[in-house]
Structure 1
């Protein structure tokens, strides 16, 4: 009988890509992968440390696994496992905790899956995380997350990621192209490029600091890979998103007009306290350049509310800045103190009720922005990639510029691309469509 292993991933697209690669390693060792809700011999939880909430969820997920199989071997990997290994090892039921470099060799650390009396920790000093492990996520999705870069050399005062993932380092261009070709060969239509700081691509191949290739080199090379219908850039720092890249995406064969650009604050005073590497003017310039060459482009924004020292005036500066900017949606993060970060000891802590109030205001602004963006796309012709789930009689999909659409469920549409006309916004906030050609079962 094959041993069964199940995975649970917290956090970002990068974590999902790494979980997938680690899972394939288990399958090569003879394990059978099952869903996390099913009975397994081993449960692997890939953790996140970005928000306070992700920390708290870990214990809940351990309990879920124990409920299904009290005798199961439980391992914790990922960012929180690197930052707080002893804390995770002390959680009842946890048998193994692996840090940033050890997680990719997890099968070397397990024996007969006998439960331990105490959680066993194998965690490197983060300075030793100076080599690169490529990964990508495929499976039940119509898109794949392809990791091209890891780690970060930036010193933002609120962030634990450099402590959890180490220095910035990149995959070789050849290996990225090989992984992209493998993904394409499996019939996946869209690849999302992911990493901690992907605009920094080219730095630190295998621990050195030579810039073998730039992010623009990477984008140009991927655009030539046969069989990839869509390439999407995930989050990219505004100071690293150069006009040359924006202009290339506008003319490219496969890259879609969708950018996600972290802002964090619209107040220059707060950006300085955060140690961000740009001021608000540069951000405005990036948005303007995108809209100039791709008027229909979708632009998503990360923003943090309640950073230490953020007064009502600073917050309103951010609110008005975003309100006037030609963007499409926001990802709003409520600031939470993270140990060993400079921001955690700064004066001027914002009361939690005010943080939540500001977060709610920006979520409301995000809904307004998304609605306005969707309205601007009505009556236009777009290409939709349909997803794989039947949701209450409907199938959902995304246009190239990230408008979420719905159509009556038809299994033949799953993982297919279709030219459509966007007709109206449904009461759920999604967009209905009209097919412009007979659906092709492909």
Structure 2
């Protein structure tokens, strides 16, 4: 039975896409493996958001090709965003057999089998057979619908849309994922229902800009956007206890979505709200259609709708033309808002994006980017750590994910505000369950405590 190894880089969308591809291989009789040397099919699902992610993928494939140098039957390939943007170039530079774009995940298995047949037929032929498919395909968003669930798994990602129409000047996603395309609400709710029947208690709805879901395809109803209609439908599924979504855009937080946090208790108390910059001048250059003041007001309205909600963010430092004054505006906003967590990125040129074409004189040095990165990280960490202190001595509700990856003798779970909690207890009994943990300590953004259990 042939074995398949898939390595995934990037966002949750990529993880979900890899899961779909894995399920399709399993349905065709293949076995998934984590052991690289024994694989007959080696695929890397790639990310193009930053250059580092692309270099990691290319380096990984180079290493895998060395491992399988003598195993000529092995099929190698790239999937995903880098495959979409660099297409046939990867055949020459990485010497792989297959390059599949972001709208063709559902064709990966048939392409692999076509390459296998070609290898068998051309054993005595030096001519290399390869496939590149990065063409658009209508309704490709509907192909990501199957799941591979582990025993007692309690949370799952659900892809609700593909693509993005926003065209932020720093971002390559609209060019690699295409335009916004949403799945029908009924199909998504039915997928969630099937997951609940298999024991899933928490779902995370995924989209490039998830809270703009369906805006061009489905009508408003009773003043509610398609995304809020979807949230209400998922909320009604028995067995689902928590609902999360990522990644949203500030302009997608209309009054109906903010109001949803007042009457949908299954919506978890955590929102990820990408800021990118606290400078209006830089936001304009980024093509982000809001001001710093409007962003702050939005955070205040979300916190008023659901007291205690945690707000995390994304920020880019060192965008072309960002002066010290611009950076200080970002820093001051972060000081006022006091995020629970932040992913801070040094600006990275992405080929084909408007920002990459900006005047070289506007490009900042790596030294300046790193200094701002570390300074802002220290500030945000100070605020974030302070939010852990009041939790000591309290009880927090967690969803137990199973043994900790760093210490198998302990269990790990997440609070509704997405904080990690480590504690001791019987894995067989507690994995996949929701219960309280009495917090006794914290360190490095991890809570520690004791499970509060019934008999």
Give, in angstroms, the shift of residue 69 of structure 1.
Answer: 3.3
2:451 aligned with 1:435: yes
The corresponding residue for 2:426 is 410
> Which structure 1 residue ranges, 5 or more long, are not aligned?
none
The corresponding residue for 1:370 is 384
2:17 aligned with 1:18: yes
Match of 1:318 among 308, 327, 330: 330
Q: 1:312 to 1:107 in 2, by over 3 A?
A: same
Contact kept? 1:100, 1:129, Cα under 8 Å: no
Distance in 2 (CA, whole Å) between partners of 1:400 and 1:307 is 33
Q: 1:367 to 1:350 in 2, by over 3 A?
A: same
The corresponding residue for 1:108 is 110
Distance in 1 (CA, whole Å) between partners of 2:148 and 2:390 is 33
> Please, what TM-score do these two structures have when normalized by structure 1?
0.92
Distance in 2 (CA, whole Å) between partners of 1:188 and 1:64 is 37
SS of 1:239's partner is: helix
Give, in angstroms, the shift of residue 68 of structure 1.
Answer: 4.4
Distance in 1 (CA, whole Å) between partners of 2:414 and 2:165 is 33
Give, in angstroms, the shift of residue 138 of structure 1.
Answer: 4.4
Distance in 2 (CA, whole Å) between partners of 1:210 and 1:132 is 19
> Which structure 2 residue ranges, 5 or more long, are not aligned?
121-125
Give, in angstroms, the shift of residue 59 of structure 1.
Answer: 1.9
- Paired residues in the alignment total 433
Give, in angstroms, the shift of residue 236 of structure 1.
Answer: 0.8
Give, in angstroms, the shift of residue 326 of structure 1.
Answer: 3.6
Give, in angstroms, the shift of residue 174 of structure 1.
Answer: 0.9
Match of 1:97 among 90, 96, 99: 99
Alignment of 1:110-125 (within 5 A): 110=112, 111=114, 113=116, 114=119, 118=128, 120-125=130-135
Alignment of 1:325-336 (within 5 A): 325-336=337-348
The corresponding residue for 1:399 is 415
Give, in angstroms, the shift of residue 92 of structure 1.
Answer: 3.9
Give, in angstroms, the shift of residue 403 of structure 1.
Answer: 1.7
Contact kept? 2:106, 2:143, Cα under 8 Å: no
Distance in 2 (CA, whole Å) between partners of 1:155 and 1:83 is 15
Contact kept? 1:258, 1:401, Cα under 8 Å: yes
Q: 1:6 to 1:211 in 2, by over 3 A?
A: farther
Q: 1:44 to 1:144 in 2, by over 3 A?
A: same
The corresponding residue for 2:289 is 277
Distance in 2 (CA, whole Å) between partners of 1:367 and 1:195 is 27
SS of 1:74's partner is: strand
Contact kept? 1:129, 1:165, Cα under 8 Å: no
Give, in angstroms, the shift of residue 124 of structure 1.
Answer: 3.7
CA RMSD after TM alignment: 2.2
> Please, what TM-score do these two structures have when normalized by structure 2?
0.89
Contact kept? 2:313, 2:343, Cα under 8 Å: yes
Alignment of 1:66-215 (within 5 A): 66-70=65-69, 71=71, 72-110=74-112, 111=114, 113=116, 114=119, 118=128, 120-126=130-136, 131-135=140-144, 138-140=148-150, 142-205=154-217, 214-215=226-227
